[in-house]
């Protein structure tokens, strides 16, 4: 959980660099160091999000026992999948989608629909990661 929170915060920072740079102009060096890894980070987070969403769907019986916890988990999974897909699209396309032209085209269309939400998803990832870190230590 701790590693996932940290990875989510890092991916959120990589996805919303303008927000980070407006608050800390000297953060450009750190952001430049993230760029070579953002594709792999995106793929990892996307896979974690898919895995978490499947777990959430299989654990839907807990919705009536702990609705906030279940809904929060599904929200985290959704942000992970979407942001991970956006950030890791180059690698996902190269290794998975490029084998079929129809799936490659659908992937590009999905990316075009998601790109306008990238910064908002990045901010959501940072907030969710920080809140989850706090909850982990409480």
pLDDT tens-digit series, residues 38-49: 889 889 989 999
Contacts of residue 14, Cβ cutoff 8 Å, sequence gap at least 6: 31, 34, 35, 38, 41, 87, 122
pLDDT band at 95 (very low <50, low <70, confident <90, very high): confident
pTM of the model: 0.82
Q: Return the structure tokens found at 19.
A: 């927000």
Whether 58 and 65 have beta carbons less than 8 Å apart is answered as no
State the CB neighbour count (10 A cutoff) for residue 38.
20
State the Cα–Cα distance between residues 47 and 55, nearest whole angstrom: 12
For 17-65, what is each residue's pLDDT tens digit? 777 667 776 767 767 777 778 889 889 989 999 999 999 999 999 888 9
């Amino acid at each position: 959980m701790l590693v996932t929170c940290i990875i989510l915060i890092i991916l959120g920072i990589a996805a919303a660099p303008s927000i980070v740079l407006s608050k800390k102009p000297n953060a450009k060096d750190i952001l430049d160091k993230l760029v070579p890894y953002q594709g792999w980070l995106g793929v990892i987070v996307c896979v974690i999000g898919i895995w978490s969403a499947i777990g959430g769907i299989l654990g839907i019986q807990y919705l009536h026992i702990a609705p906030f916890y279940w809904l929060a988990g599904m929200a985290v999974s959704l942000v992970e999948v979407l942001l991970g897909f956006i950030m890791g699209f180059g690698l996902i396309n190269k290794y998975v989608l490029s084998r079929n032209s129809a799936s490659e085209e659908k992937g590009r269309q999905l990316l075009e629909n998601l790109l306008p939400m990238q910064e908002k998803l990045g901010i959501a990832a940072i907030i969710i990661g920080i809140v989850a870190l706090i909850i982990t230590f409480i």
